Amino acid sequence: MFTKKQLLTKGLLSVAPHMFSVIPFGIVCGAIGIELGFSPILVYAMSIIIFGGASQIVFLQLLSGGASALIAITSVGVINSRHLLYGAVLSEYLEKLSFAKKLLISYLVVDQGFAESNKFFQKNRNEPYLHYHLLGSGGTLWIFWQLSTLSGIILGSFVPEEIGLKFAVPLTFIAIVVQDLKKLDHVIVMITCGLSSLLFFDAPFKSYIIISPIIALFVAALVLRLKK
Amino acid sequence: MTWSSIIIAGIITYFTRMTMVALVDRDLLGEKIKAVLAYVPSAVFPAIIFPGVFINDYGTFIEMNDPKIFGAIVAILVGYFSRNVIATILSGLFSYWIIIFLL
């Protein structure tokens, strides 16, 4: 059995390698906000209030492009709706927490933290303090997201766009799913999702990001049925 | 106006994180749904990976000889065999940079 402190540390360490993509992306995110002409305080406040990289960029780009607030808000909601799926997966492991603790820890549910803590949870189902792992992974991501977007805001236009730092984002997620390429059922689900995301890329409100997982999960259900 | 939009967007985002964890009783989900949920990472992350690789900043498809495709293939191979997150990210970035800056 692990102590709370050990789990917190394990959570921290599990997401630490992802900082190679979180930090560059955070810097780009802050710099874009400034470049689009928004005030530094506003750009930074989004990292606390919304705390979701891709959605923060889209929000500012839409507003600066003249889109209505309603469209910008809807897009953020659609892009971040994938967290509903993460929550559904994590709820099994967070079931025993008090309502207040559930409300607090939910704020820290983000892509890489969910991915790494979920991997740990699957192998250590019976640990009593599992949520400390999520606290470690999500908390670390939160701190570095704040620091890196702040750096981007300060550096602003000094961040050269040509070096393509945004490319670190798909790479970090490749690192998360690459071992599942060993399993045919997962490969089928991944390809379904990936191709759907390209097919629906132009769907309104960036909805490809939730449409393709839903299609992929239907395919997953079919695959499960065939496996029996 | 912008501030209130950010706050509303933040509240909506928080609800996407909190709803399934705190508000929905897990027993409402049947066994079949729980089995399907095991595929969530494989069903979600390619929707970030594929557009990040195959679509450029202007929302159009890249050419098949684009350095991002090469970088992604290197990252997949390195990641698959090394099982190391840092090696995966850095090998992808460096192979991409080598092509755009040196070749």
Above 90 in pLDDT, residue A163?
no
Q: What is the pLDDT of residue A143?
A: 98
Percent of chain A exceeding pLDDT 90 equals 94
Q: What is the pLDDT of residue A36?
A: 93
Of B24, B41, B86, the CB nearest to A17: B86
Q: Does B74 touch chain A (CB under 8 A)?
A: no
Above 80 in pLDDT, residue A23?
yes
Stretch A117-145: mean pLDDT: 97
Stretch B76-94: mean pLDDT: 97
Above 80 in pLDDT, residue A1?
yes
> Distance from first CA to last CA of chain A, Å, rounded?
35
Which is nearest to A34 in space by CA: A57, A50, A4, A17?
Answer: A57
Above 90 in pLDDT, residue B35?
yes
Q: What is the pLDDT of residue B25?
A: 82
pLDDT band at A13 (very low <50, low <70, confident <90, very high): very high
Query: Do the Cβ atoms of A92 and B89 come within 8 Å?
Result: no
Query: Do the Cβ atoms of B13 and A50 come within 8 Å?
Result: yes
Average pLDDT, chain B: 94
Instruction: Give chain B positions within 8 Å (CB) of A103.
Output: 18, 22
Instruction: Give chain A positions within 8 Å (CB) of B97.
Output: 163-164
Q: What is the pLDDT of residue A197?
A: 98
Q: Does B17 touch chain A (CB under 8 A)?
A: yes
Q: Exposed e or buried b for every residue in A119-131, given b needs 16+ CB within 10 A?
A: ebbeeeeebeebb
Q: What is the pLDDT of residue B102?
A: 85
Interface test with B, best of A14, A48, A174 (most B CBs within 10 A): A174
pTM listed for this prediction? 0.95
- Chain A and chain B share a number of CB contacts under 8 A equal to 263
Average pLDDT, chain A: 96
How far apart are alpha carbons A50 and A56 in whole angstroms? 7
Residue with tokens 């191709």: A195
How far apart are alpha carbons A81 and A12 in whole angstroms? 25
For A215, the token pair is 């299609």
Contacts of A181 (CB under 8 A, 6+ apart): A187, A190, B76, B80
3-class secondary-structure state, position B61: strand
pLDDT band at A227 (very low <50, low <70, confident <90, very high): confident
Stretch A186-212: mean pLDDT: 97
pLDDT band at B96 (very low <50, low <70, confident <90, very high): very high
A-chain residue closest to B52, CA distance: A170
ipTM of the complex: 0.95
Interface test with A, best of B32, B37, B40, B57 (most A CBs within 10 A): B40
Of B20, B51, B75, the CB nearest to A84: B20
Query: Do the Cβ atoms of B19 and A84 come within 8 Å?
Result: yes
pLDDT band at B15 (very low <50, low <70, confident <90, very high): very high
